[in-house]
Amino acid sequence: MQSKSKSSQQSPNQSSRREFLKRGGALTVGTALAGVVVPHVHAAENNTIRLAIVGCGPRGSGAVGNAMMAPGGPVKLIAMADVFEDKLQRAHQALSKEFGDRIDVPCDRQFLGFDAYKKAIDCLGPGDVALLTTRSGFRPTHLDYAVSKGVNVFMEKSFASDPVGLQRILRAGEAAKKKNLKIAAGFQCRHSTSRQALIRKIRAGVMGEIQLVRAYRMQSGGQMGPRKPKPGENELMFQIRNPIGVLWGSTGTWHDNMTHQIDECCWIKDAWPVSAHGVGGRVAHSKDCSQNLDSYSVEYTFADGTKAMVVGRFLPKCYNEFATFVHGTKCAAQFSGAIHAATVQTYADQRILPDNVTWKPTKELNNPWQAEWNDLLDAIRNDRPYNEAERAAKANLVGLMGRAAVHSGRIVTWEEALASKFEWCPNIDNLTAESPAPVMPDSEGRYPAPVPGAWMEI
């Protein structure tokens, strides 16, 4: 879940999603889960932008909080959808406590089930926003429908769990452009004014030619024990409730955690990598039942031959680091800090030391989670072009390249990833609560884990 670093200095009204959830209630579990052309899709005459949320976990509820605190005019939540009633009710209770009658979601606009997303989106009209905040497996399905109904979209990362899903995101993004719909993607770091300031310095040549970008997320967590479903919960519903452990439901631990920093690497280089290779593994005698590895190290190569290293490790009692660094021919810089904090600074040379800092940006007025919503709603109210779908999908694809390179033990190229027809769950649009699960555990409750040299996912 996204949150603000302790080192960030925001006011209470600019708090992160995690801090909102602490104030709002007990939302501490993960997320489940042929329109006509509209020439001018912007806020209604009374200036109220209405929201519908699809996926009522912390990410979605936090995004609603950011929307409510955006300037420019009134915002109301009018519909909610999830496959789990307990999650929807917890979210509704917490949001209602925080925002009162701005949460206008009576029982007849609280929708449950695999078709609930359609019913919630159908409550919206031109100028309104569908918040697509399930895990990534279902994002392409939900985005297709929202665009077909002519409504604006905020979609949380990650955006699809396989290349076919990302191809759907790209097509939906193009369709949205033709309808003048706004699509915001949950890469909030792109809206960080501190990072934008450093990007301007990089483009101006202050750091010289960028030779290397290093991104790290090394922390505890990520392992999954044997399946313990809730009463009456079948295998499919268990996997949807615990999607991070199965690759069809999410992009997996490494990708889901590292996707912001993968996007940062590409932003810094202003390019997509041409290839990826890497290594990863599990500790000896691992009891992890998920499909994830616990360590990943991916080397991306760009067309000019420069590199980005993206390293994730998810084990307790080890050295932890959460940061992105940039090395140019003239000097080095830090681009990002713990929990996506705007720890941005340049150094006199290549030494990353506190007493070697030469520049820091001015303090951010809004944290990036808030800034991305300010930007989206401003674009809707003022009818400005705003579509982040292509950039989001391609950054997501970079992550899938790296994950596939580690899991398969081979070099994966940008071209083959972009053209890949691989998908985890071809019938995902038609799943019901009684459908067979796309992947099954063995007799010990373990889901099939990648074996380099034999595994394929591109």
pLDDT, tens digit, 9 for 90 and up, residues 345-384: 999 999 999 999 999 999 999 999 999 999 999 999 999 9
pLDDT exceeds cutoff 80 at 308: yes
pLDDT exceeds cutoff 80 at 20: no
Cβ atoms of residues 147 and 179 within 8 Å: yes
- Return the structure tokens found at 204: 């101006």
Q: What is the pLDDT of residue 53?
A: 98
From CA 338, how far away is CA 412, in angstroms rounded?
29
From CA 63, how far away is CA 152, in angstroms rounded?
15
Say what the alpha-carbon torsion angle 378, 157, 406, 227 is, to the nearest 10 degrees.
170
Q: What digits encode the pLDDT tens for the residues 380-437? A: 999 999 999 999 999 999 999 999 999 999 999 999 999 999 999 999 999 999 999 9
From CA 277, how far away is CA 310, in angstroms rounded?
11
pLDDT exceeds cutoff 90 at 195: yes
Q: What is the pLDDT of residue 40?
A: 44
- Percent of the chain, pLDDT > 70? 90
In this prediction the pTM is: 0.90
- Return the structure tokens found at 351: 């030494």
Rg of the chain on CA atoms, in Å: 21
* Domains of the chain and CATH, by start: 15-189+371-387 (3.40.50.720), 197-361+396-430 (3.30.360.10)
From CA 146, how far away is CA 126, in angstroms rounded?
11
How are beta strands 307-314 and 332-336 bridged, if at all? unpaired
Q: How buried is 432 (Cβ within 10 angstroms: 0-12 exposed, 13-18 middle, 19+ buried)?
A: exposed
Would you list the DSSP string of 325-388? EEEESS-EEEEE-GGG----EEESSS---GGGEEE-PPPPSS-HHHHHHHHHHHHHHTT---B-
Q: What is the pLDDT of residue 46?
A: 76
Q: What digits encode the pLDDT tens for the residues 108-138? A: 999 999 999 999 999 999 999 999 999 999 9
pLDDT exceeds cutoff 80 at 83: yes
Is the pLDDT higher at 3 or at 417?
Answer: 417
Q: Name residue, tokens 């380099």.
A: 452
∠ CA 90-95-100 to the nearest 5 degrees? 130
Cβ atoms of residues 345 and 359 within 8 Å: yes
From CA 202, how far away is CA 205, in angstroms rounded?
5
pLDDT exceeds cutoff 70 at 41: no
Give the mean pLDDT of 148-177.
98
The residues that bridge with 202 in the sheet, in sequence order, are none
Q: What is the pLDDT of residue 228?
A: 80
Q: What is the pLDDT of residue 200?
A: 98
The residues that bridge with 296 in the sheet, in sequence order, are 280, 312
Distance of CA 78 to the CA centre of its chain: 24
Q: Which of 190, 254, 216, 209 is nearest to 334 (CA)?
A: 216
Q: Strands across the sheet with 295-301, in order?
A: 357-359, 345-347, 332-336, 321-328, 210-219, 307-314, 295-301, 275-281, 412-413
- Percent of the chain, pLDDT > 90? 87
DSSP type of residue 48 = P
> Per this entry, what is the length of the chain?
458
Left if phi > 0, otherwise alpha if psi is -120 to 50, otherwise beta: which for 139?
A: alpha
Q: What is the pLDDT of residue 36?
A: 32
Please report which confidence band the pLDDT of residue 44 belongs to, taking 50, 70 and 90 as the band edges: low
Residues contacting residue 86 through CB under 8 Å, at least 6 positions apart: none
Q: What digits encode the pLDDT tens for the residues 228-284? A: 878 888 999 999 999 999 999 999 999 999 999 999 999 999 999 999 999 999 999
CA atoms within 13 A on the CB side of 105: 29
Q: What digits encode the pLDDT tens for the residues 309-354? A: 999 999 999 999 999 999 999 999 999 999 999 999 999 999 999 9
SS3 assignment, position 214: strand
From CA 454, how far away is CA 351, in angstroms rounded?
41
